[in-house]
């Protein structure tokens, strides 16, 4: 496939608007031909963005032969139903995180992916598109770090309702949210570097959560998450191998990283990334990977099966937190 991919975005809130900007940065590869919006304000916004076709219901977009791909920027409790329906309708799918909220939904998505192998199905784990983490991934994949034996990540974020208005709408309702262990952005990152998780442990207080991971390859991992910290947003990463170490952290509104290959202070800098949502071109990278995967010139950066595996691992972490026991990851 060499022509432009025709995309319909479902939801034009904070995330959908960023996705729209990502597609807008690659007009030679993609065209946003539709949007699903219900409010008059949403419709006015879509028209101002030059989106030609508007739908009141996301199911209507599935029936439109002029749409190649559906981009779901919707509340989490809708993700599984929408992704499965889109795959069954013959559409390519990019769905925001988390991919689903239960083991039953995870199985439904896995079955749909298996039944429709020609469709691209991705989960929007945006951190996989940040250049610093991508650089670290290359170092892991090319063997620079050697055998990975420990990986850790911290996710600390007091979200601003002014920046994330959904926190004041559907996210207020606990029935519309899932308890997926601690920090699913961090969880996806450590899985990206170390692979599938075999067993988990966890603990949680009203202000912080902690998980210990045992990977199938023998590596150990640790996650920390909190929304009570008094500091700027952080999504940090450390990857330890028997030949080298990568450390990534936020500093002065940038994500920075170092590669260490000796016990001396001789760090090699990694690519830098501007603060998430504040000038970083991460959505352009994400949308480029999605449409290039559809066009057959790239591999999905985050296949939906990885997004599902993150949820399965997170559910196991939550069970470990609730029971105080070690829990094997369920699927």
3-class secondary-structure state, position 52: coil
Cα dihedral value 135, 141, 142, 143, nearest 10: 110
Per DSSP (E only), the strands in 130-285 are: 148-156, 197-204, 209-215, 220-226, 234-241, 245-251, 254-260, 268-269, 273-274
Q: Which helix (H) or strand (E) holds 323?
A: helix 304-323
- Whether 174 has a pLDDT exceeding 50, the answer reads no
C-alpha separations of 258 from 130, 132, 177, 251, 312 in Å: 15, 9, 36, 13, 31
* pLDDT tens profile 33-78: 999 998 898 899 999 999 999 999 999 999 999 999 999 999 999 9
Q: Is the pTM here over 0.85, yes or no?
A: yes
Whose structure tokens read 């069954």? 88
Q: What residues does each domain of the chain span? A: 5-126+284-299, 127-276+310-328
DSSP 181: S
Q: Can you give the pLDDT at residue 232?
A: 84
Cα-only R_g, the chain = 20
Q: Cα–chain-centroid distance for residue 51?
A: 25
CATH number for the region 5-126+284-299 comes to: 3.40.50.720
Q: 167-181, 212-226, 263-277: which has the minimum mean pLDDT?
A: 167-181
* Residue 331: per-residue pLDDT: 76
Cβ atoms within 10 A of the Cβ of 160, count?
Answer: 10
DSSP H helix total and E strand total for the chain: 9, 16
- Percent of the chain clearing pLDDT 70 (strictly above): 92
Q: pLDDT tens-digit profile of 214-264?
A: 999 999 999 999 989 998 888 999 999 999 999 999 988 899 999 999 999
Q: Which tokens go with 26?
A: 């690659």
Cα–Cα distance measured from residue 25 to residue 22, given in angstroms and rounded to the nearest whole number: 5
Calculate ∠ Cα 74-75-78, nearest 5°: 85
Q: Rounded to an integer, what distance in angstroms lies between the CA atom of residue 115 and that of residue 306?
A: 17
Contacts of 48 (CB under 8 A, 6+ apart): none
Query: How far is residue 159 CA from its own chain's centroid?
Result: 17
DSSP structure class, residue 129: G
Structure-token match 């809130």, residue found = 13
Residues 101-140: pLDDT tens digits? 999 999 999 999 999 999 999 999 999 999 999 999 999 9
Task: Tell me the C-alpha to C-alpha distance, in Å, between residue 19 and each of 50, 70, 77, 302, 304.
Answer: 14, 12, 20, 16, 17
Planar angle of CA 78, 331, 109, nearest 5 degrees: 35
* CATH architecture assignment, domain 127-276+310-328: 2-Layer Sandwich (3.30)
How far apart CA 317 and CA 313 sit, in angstroms, is: 6
Round to whole Å and give the CA distance between 75 and 295: 28
CA 65, distance to chain mean position in Å, is 28
Q: Is the pLDDT of residue 157 over 60?
A: yes
């Amino acid at each position: 496939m060499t022509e432009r991919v025709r995309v319909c975005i479902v939801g034009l809130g904070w995330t959908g608007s960023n996705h729209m900007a990502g597609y807008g940065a690659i007009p030679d590869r993609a065209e946003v031909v539709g949007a699903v919006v219900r409010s008059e304000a949403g419709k006015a916004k879509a028209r101002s963005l030059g989106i030609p076709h508007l739908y009141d219901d996301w199911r209507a977009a599935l029936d439109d032969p002029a749409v190649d791909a559906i981009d779901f920027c919707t509340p989490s409790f809708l993700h599984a139903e929408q992704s499965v329906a889109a795959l069954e309708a013959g559409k390519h799918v990019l769905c925001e995180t988390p991919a689903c909220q239960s083991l039953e939904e995870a199985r439904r998505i896995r079955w749909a992916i298996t039944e429709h192998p020609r469709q691209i199905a991705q989960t929007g784990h945006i951190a996989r598109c940040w250049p610093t983490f991508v650089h670290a991934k290359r170092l892991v994949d090319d063997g620079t770090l050697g055998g990975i034996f420990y990986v850790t990540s911290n996710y600390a974020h007091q979200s601003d309702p002014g920046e994330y208005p959904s926190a004041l709408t559907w996210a207020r309702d606990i029935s519309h949210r899932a308890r997926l262990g601690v920090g699913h952005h961090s969880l996806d990152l450590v899985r990206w570097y170390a692979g599938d998780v075999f067993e988990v442990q966890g603990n949680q207080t009203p202000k912080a959560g902690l998980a210990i991971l045992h990977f199938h390859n023998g590596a150990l991992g640790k996650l920390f998450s909190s929304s009570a910290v008094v500091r700027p947003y952080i999504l940090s990463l450390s990857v330890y191998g028997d030949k080298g170490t990568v450390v990534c952290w936020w500093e002065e509104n940038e994500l920075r990283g170092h590669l260490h290959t000796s016990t001396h202070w001789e760090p090699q800098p990694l690519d830098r990334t501007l603060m998430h949502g504040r000038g970083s071109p991460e959505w352009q990278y994400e949308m480029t990977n999605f449409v290039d995967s559809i066009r057959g010139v790239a591999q999905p950066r985050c296949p939906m099966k990885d997004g599902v595996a993150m949820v399965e691992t997170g559910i196991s972490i939550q069970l470990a937190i609730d029971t105080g026991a070690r829990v094997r990851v369920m699927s």
